[in-house]
Amino acid sequence: MHVKVDIGARATLRDLQKIKKAIDAAAFKSWSRSTRAALMFMKRNGYFDRTGELTRSMRQESTRTGYLRFKSKVSANARYALWVDQPTRAHDIVARRAPFLVFFWAAPKGPNQVVFFRKVRHPGTRGALFSDMTRKHMVGRFQVSTQVAVDAAITRAN
């Protein structure tokens, strides 16, 4: 990402150091806010979570790696998050710890029946794709918000 900086011609070395600190602080604050916005977008527009565990496991992290260099991460740490987020192909589910898989099968007329299978064919899932949706939504917003914050910091420092 590139940020444009316009500093007046009469700036002294001390002024430049002061502006440099202000720019770095403002850019990091803006970057952290944008990361928080990405997290909130992912929580609001992601997968409907029946238990709430997936939503509670979503985290954000912003760190400085150098002057005007930041690293951000928004992640879901539930152990099943990857299988909810990304599509899966059709696959077999085989009984491993017991001789059979046990299901309650809804009968068209009458009560549910208990059925036993050694193996079933799972059709796969479409995937919620909440991580890709968040990335696409936020891609330009980081640069715009950081540029606005840097411009405001320069204006305040002058």
Domains in the chain: boundaries: 1-86+126-158, 89-124
CA-closest candidate to residue 71, choices 26, 27, 37, 5: 27
For residue 58, give Cα distances in angstroms to 40, 41, 47, 134: 9, 11, 12, 12
Q: Is-above-0.85 flag for pTM?
A: no
Token pair 């992912």: residue: 42
What would the mean pLDDT of 85-110 be, rounded to a whole number?
Answer: 89
Task: Give tens-digit pLDDT for 43-85.
Answer: 888 777 788 898 899 999 988 888 888 888 888 898 988 888 8
- Phi, then psi, of 58 in degrees rounded to 5: -75, 130
